[in-house]
Amino acid sequence: MQLPCFNYYRHIFYSARIKIVPLNIYELLTPIGLAFWIMDDGSRQGSGLHISVYGFYNEDVDRLMFTLQDKFGLKCSIHYNRDNKPRIYIFKESMPDIIHLVKPYFIEEMLYKLGM
């Protein structure tokens, strides 16, 4: 409300106060957006990386995973935590690719999430 310039994003990422993934996420998600997403919701998992997507419905989680696979060529799958909440797992073999994509946009204090 304070910055009306963000209302556009509120309208495309929320429907009736429920978080959604817009159908055009493929066009919207950029390496810088992916970097911020990982800095916020990512965590190192073994030699790979988890991105928490707890607030989304299953079809939205699928849409996000397929965007990561199709747009960025990442090998990933959906894992569930102990509370049966979804996370997108990026496999070890895709870590060099994701590091190449997002490292220029990471702040130094968050590089540990990439294993650096």
Cα torsion at 97, 42, 84, 90 (round to 10°)?
10
Q: Which of 12, 36, 22, 28 lies closest to 104, judged by CA?
A: 36
Nearest 5 degrees, angle CA 47-CA 53-CA 57?
Answer: 140
pLDDT of residue 107: 97
pLDDT of residue 47: 94
pLDDT of residue 72: 98
Q: What would the pLDDT profile of 16-27 be if each residue is shown by its tens digit?
A: 888 999 999 999
Q: What would the pLDDT profile of 85-97 be if each residue is shown by its tens digit?
A: 999 999 999 999 9
Q: Which residues of the chain have pLDDT under 70?
A: 1
Task: Please state, in angstroms and rounded to a whole number, the distance separating the CA atoms of residues 11 and 114.
Answer: 31
pLDDT of residue 26: 97
pLDDT of residue 1: 62
* Mean pLDDT of all residues belonging to the chain: 94
pTM to 2 decimal places: 0.90
Decide if 79 contacts 53 (C-beta within 8 A): no
According to CATH, the superfamily of the domain at 20-114 is Homing endonucleases (3.10.28.10)
